[in-house]
Structure 1
Amino acid sequence: MPRHFLRKLELYTHLSAADREALESAVGEKRRRVGPREDIVREGDHTGHVNLVLEGWACRYKQLEDGRRQIVALFVPGDLCDTHIDVLREMDHAIGTLTPATYAEVSRDTLGAIAARHPRIMQALWWDTLVSASIQREWTVNLGQRSASERLGHLLCELFLRLRGVGLTEGNHCVLPTTQADLADAMGLSTVHINRTLQDLRRAGLIVLKGRNLTIPDLAALQAASLFTPNYLHFDHIGRHLDAVEPVAV
Structure 2
Amino acid sequence: MNLTGKYAVGILLTFVILAAAMLYSFPAVTTITGIRGITETNFFLSRIILWIVLIIVFLYNVFIEKSAFFLRKEKKYSATFYIKAVVSLYFICLIGGAILNAVVMFVTQEKISEKLLNLVPILRNNYFLVIFTCLTAAIVEEFLMRGYIQPRIEKIYNNPTVAIVISAVLFGILHSTYGTISQVLGPFFIGVVFAVFYKRYSNIKILIICHFMIDFIAMMVMNCIDIKHLSVF
**Same topology, TM > 0.5:** no
Question: Which structure dedicates a bigger proportion of its chain to helix?
Answer: 2
Asked which structure has the greater RCO (Cα within 8 Å, sep 6+), the reply is 2
Q: If the length of structure 1 is used for normalisation, what is the TM-score?
A: 0.28
Q: TM-score, normalised by structure 2?
A: 0.30
